[in-house]
Each structure stands twice: as C-alpha cells, then as structure tokens.
Structure 1
C-alpha cells in the first residue's frame, strides 16, 4: 500500500498533513487553560444577560439546535479535511445523501446515477423523490465516462456519484465527470464514505457536494449514527443550509463529541486497516475457492488504474466473489468464522462479513459473477489471525460443497 493518504488538496489548506492538522487544531494556543476536547454541552435553552442579546448571533448560537461546541468544532475539522467552505452534520449517512438531493432538486428534474447505487439511496430516489415529480435515470456500473455523459438529457439536474460503487466497487473517472457536468450546468454530489474525505477529496476534483457516513470511518467505533455534507461553493451551500434549517435536522452533542474524538485518529486507523486489508485480499486472491477480489486498490482488479491515479489510500472494505457455491455454502463459511462479526456497516475497529448476492437482484443490469458475493470489512485485529480465521471459513465452504 502507499505510505500515508495525502492527495492533492486546495491551495487554501496548509502544507501540513491531514494527520497533523486533525490533532493540531486541539492543541493550538491562545484560548487559555482548557481541556483538550471541547465540553459536551447538553442544552436546548441558552440564557442571555439582556433582552437585546437574545437574538444577537455574534454571541454564538441562540438555541441548542444551532450546534454547540463539539458539533461546531467537528464541522470546522470536516471543512478543513474536505477543503470545504462549509460543512453540516446530519443524523445518518443516508441523510447526508438525501438532504442535498432534497435541497437541489425540483419537480420535473432528473437525477442520473449508477445502477450499483447504495440501496437506501436508491429507495429514496424511487419512493420519496419519485412521488414528487423527480425522476431517476441509471447508467451501468463502471460505465465509461462518455457513456455516462451521453445519458445526460435536458432534464438532468444532478449526477449522483459513487466511486467505488456499493457492493461491487466499480470506479468512475470522477474528475472528468465533474468537469463535464459543470460545463453542462449539471450539479454533482458524491458519496465519498469509502475514502472518508482522506484518501480522495471530491471538492478538490470539481465535485459540488461531498457527503459521507460519519457513522463509519470518522466515528470509527461502531457506536453512533451521523453523516456530513461539505461544499466548496457557498451558493450551493445556501440551499443545503436552508433545507436543514427547515427540516430541523441536527445531531446530539454527545454524538458530535464521539465523532470528533474518532476524527482525531482517522488517518492512523484508516492506514493501518488498509494495510491489513491488502494482506487479507492478497491471501484470498490466491485461494482456489475464490474467483475474484473486488478491490480497486488491488493490482489487476477492475478500476485499479483510476484508483492509483486519483486516490492516496484505500478503505479496508472489499468484495469476495467465490467460485460457484450457493447460499448454504456462503452461510457455512460465515458461521465458521470466529473473528469476523456478522453485521452491517463498516469502518469500525472490528472485522465484519456479510453475504450480498441477494442485493444484486435489485439492479437493472445485475453483474454476472462466478459465484456468491461476500463483503469483508477488515478491522484492527492482527491480519494473520484474520487469515487463520478465514482458513477455517474456507474449510467449512468446501465441506458444504461436498
């Protein structure tokens, strides 16, 4: 793997690395004696000394819904990480996707997106926006840039990007798509959870809105739900800020504090888990039971060239296509594992495995795979122990087949 995630960043950011800046913001001087982390302020009502101060924004929030110390510091750090003019926090990663779509789309507009789109995002497009006169068009997962651009019509208002895509990890040429969409007056929103604002910075490559599930790598401990939305252009941001104000969506001070704590160590966890994931992926890739590893960071994998050009690191999440088999064999493998938890989400400290073949049936163009699809998230356990655990799982797989 590459040394440390350090992609190109906007000129407004310092030459210090993300790893340094995320910590240095806590230790900067000039604020008097204080704790390293901001206090958790649990408050709805904020008191004032005079009637005239009650609506004076210069003195800070006037009501608890406007974000207090921990949330404001978290937003500032996410702005720095993303190279953003502003960033907002919402109660889940899904909300980070749905809020910009709600803010930026109107009746009669069309969204263009990948057929491999995250299932809940797809459901929102179909069920919520569809009922409000906003249509969705899909392009094939991993389609060429020219083919995606050819699908843009006069009604296309927004391109929703996932790269890598959910479950099958197809890569797109994001800089080329962002530039072409901007020239056509089409907005771009990118779900960047896999790169976590660290290995890839969408705003620096021309994307209008960068969103991610803070639930995953930023929080890092599988103990909270949150999303973030970041923009470089204040004009785009105004519509998002007003939508959040109208919806009344904010996060709790306790969750903001936990996410802020996780963000400080994000670069180290991300890098270490990527190293372990590469070891596990290399080992699985050499196994006769495995037909293919879906992981752009792996040389020879689909999308590797784009990943190597644009990304400075990789998440520890990848797909494993087994050679044949059925659901019973996949479940036997999963049951035999002792170190991999059976649960959804990822980005935490623990390793996880899920069986994803069934989710592919909802696509317009489901991929043709050589066998069952498993998704692995590699945590902070010793990778050699994880490999030994997977050896037991593969033995159970072979036994189920025989």
Structure 2
C-alpha cells in the first residue's frame, strides 16, 4: 500500500507470509556461508554482492526485512543495519570522511559519538569541530570547502536542544557536505529528517525500536543510492553487522512501537508536569514543554515526543543525591533508554561541552519514563525527594 499510514507500515513492512509458508513473521536466518549451485551464479553474485544473499555478513532475508521496514518508515532509499547505535554512528561517519576533511558535530552529541570523533577520526587526520546546537543557518560561518559532514543529534540526549534541520541542511549543501542525524529520540514515527534535507538518518535501534532492553541494534537510513552504496561498502569492509536474533527482536519491537511511544510520551509529560511544581526542580529540559527554548522548532518538525527528558535540581551534596537515588523502587539507574522500564541518571553536560558552555549550577537528572503506571512513578519520585531533603 503506497499511501499506507505509519501504523499500518509498522505492522506490515518487512513481512511476506506468502513467501514463508504463510508464517506471519520473517524467519530468523543464522547464516555465514551461502552456497551457489553453478559457477555462473557464483560469479554473478560476486559482481553484485549487495543484491540478494551473497554472504551472511552482507545481509540475509532477516536483515533485509528489518531494513525494508525501517526504510518505509523513514521514507528513505535504503537502510543498512548495524550491530549497535554506536556502530551505526561510526559506520556512517567513516563512510563520508577521509584524511584532510573537516567535520562539524553538534556540541550536544551523545558522549560515545564525541569519543569516536576525537579518538578515531582525529588521529586519522580528520579535523573535528563542534558547534552550538542552536546555531541554525548560522552554521554557514563554520563551513569550509573541505567540510564533508555536518552531524546533528536532535534533540540532544542530555540537554535536548532542537536543531534547525532544514536551515543547516541548506547551508551544508553549499559546500557539498552530507548531513547526518542521530534520530534515536524521535524514531521514524516522530521525525523524518530526510524529508527536511538530511542525507542520512541514524538510529540506535537498541532503544525504542527494540523497546525491551534486551538487544543491541543500529540502523542507517540513506536518502539516495549514492549515500547508501557508500555506507553499505563501509559496513561490509569493517564487518559491521548485527546478529540475526537481535535483528528479529528489532522487527518484533517495531510492531508495537507506535502504541509504546504514545504511552512513553504520556507518562513523560505527566512526570514533567509534576516535577516542574517541585521546589527542588529549577528547570525542565523537555522539547514539548512550552517554556523550552527549542519548543517552536520541535512543534514545527516533530509529530510528538518520546519518554526521555531531563530536569535540573538545585545543587546538593553528593550524600543527599545518593540518598535520593539509592533507594528508588521503580526507577533504575543505568545507561541506555527506550525500553519498557523507567530510568534515572545524574549527568554532567558541562564536562563534555567545548563549543558552548553549560553553566547551570544545578544537578542534571535524565529521566526515561517507562510504561509503568504514572501514579506509581510519581510516588517513587516523591519518596526520593523526601529522602533527599531529610539528608540535607
């Protein structure tokens, strides 16, 4: 169905029961070697290794089903799967950079993205420069003739700045730079950056797409054939691929992504509304919050919000913070997000910024609103604040 809506695509893309004995879900192909019955077919596959099934690392019917579904959702040309979100980011950056290039990366980027850029791209001779995530069309002043990539993450996963994708993309095209964006927070359901001018949309499918905190997976969606070929070749050369069972879990997670995101959004907004009334909280960092600086851009480009946001609380001694966080019953402390479970994590954005300053004296707490009853989540946080205050 060419004009199918996203909820329909979620349930049908990447499935072909008639080709699989009527079985609803694509089978899981555990594959390394692929056999060819004739020399002619072997040689034809060597000439076109990305078509059909050539070798397990390059793709199987399982990975192709996942890639097809993500492509349909994003409105792209084709997708390349990866072993994790960071693997997807690294593969995409390697695909469009070489020694002597200049790369611009948002200062609000995910920490491992910065580490890969600083510790891998820079030693390989790529000039890495960070920019203010709110720069918009002003990024034109930072572009150079050798700028090959502008890397966005909108919103940033700690402080949630929204970037002006159309304005940045228009400027990048004047020097031939590719615009890559980490679109994990929004998923393809809430933001389609390729339609706004980006060339590549990257997902840590580990998070909302898998949705159950039990698999590692990445996806790189390309707007055109040229970009896809570059990414596919890089993935093949570096051995970037996910295990078949993780891909299957990604496909399974896709089928319920829409209904889960609605609950994540509802719970996060309810928590943000409750938290802004707390005397301990000084700021709500949520793009859908009317007072958030990037709210207008979010409203223009996004179809909704997910479950991840931050709050700033007044500075307190570490002993009081520990008293607050150590005895939570429903909120877990741990990295990643996007699963069914609620999480909370103290963060230090000031420690990684280089192009901008994060000078808020408070403590930034990142929360992921899971799928629990929101009243129970509020009671858990209420008890946490009581422990914090008792420890002061």
Classify the TM-score, shorter chain.
Answer: over 0.9
Q: 2:81 aligned to 60, 80, 89, which one?
A: 89
Give the whole-Å Cα distance in 2 for the aligned partners of 1:127 and 1:41.
35
Q: Distance in 1 between matches of 2:226 and 2:38?
A: 34
Aligned pair count reads 387
TM-score where L is the length of structure 2: 0.94
Secondary structure at the counterpart of residue 261 of structure 1 = helix
The correspondence of residues 3-402 of structure 1 with structure 2, limited to 5 A, is: 14-25=2-13, 30-31=18-19, 33-57=21-45, 60-142=52-134, 144-357=135-348, 359-364=349-354, 365-401=356-392
Q: Which runs of 5+ in 2 are unaligned?
A: none
Provide the rounded CA distance (Å) in 2 between the counterparts of 1:308 and 1:318: 16
Contact preservation (8 Å) 2:14, 2:68: no
Q: Deviations over 1:41-80 (max 9, x none)?
A: 2121223444433344499313222221221100000110
CA contact (8 A) 1:114 1:162 kept: yes
Q: 1:266 offset after TM fit, Å?
A: 0.8
Question: 1:370, CA displacement in angstroms?
Answer: 4.2
CA distance in 1, matches of 2:228, 2:66: 17
Is the 8 Å Cα contact of residues 91 and 240 (structure 2) preserved in structure 1?
A: no
2:377 and 2:156 map into 1 onto residues whose CA distance is 25
Distance 2:368 2:175 in 1: 38
Deviations 1:12-56 (CA, angstroms, capped at 9, x unpaired): x83322111111336767547321111112121223444433344
**Using the alignment, how far apart are the partners of 2:361 and 2:3 within structure 1?**
46
Question: Aligned Cα RMSD in Å?
Answer: 1.8
* Conserved? CA contact 1:55–1:62, under 8 Å: no
Contact preservation (8 Å) 1:116, 1:166: yes
SS across alignment from 2:123:
helix
TM-score (norm 1): 0.92
Alpha-carbon offset, residue 308 of structure 1 = 0.8
Is the partner of 2:54 in helix, strand or coil? Answer: coil
Runs (4 or more) in structure 1 with deviation over 6 Å come to: 26-29
Q: Secondary structure at the match of 1:360?
A: helix
Distance 2:250 2:298 in 1: 27
Aligned to 1:131, the other structure's residue is in SS state coil
8 Å Cα contact 1:26/1:36 also seen in 2: no
3-state DSSP of counterpart to 1:184: coil
Q: For 2:122, what is the secondary structure of its paired residue?
A: helix
> In structure 1, the residue corresponding to 2:80 is in which secondary structure?
strand
Tell me: CA distance 1:400–1:43, structure 2 relative to 1, closer, same or farther (3 Å).
same
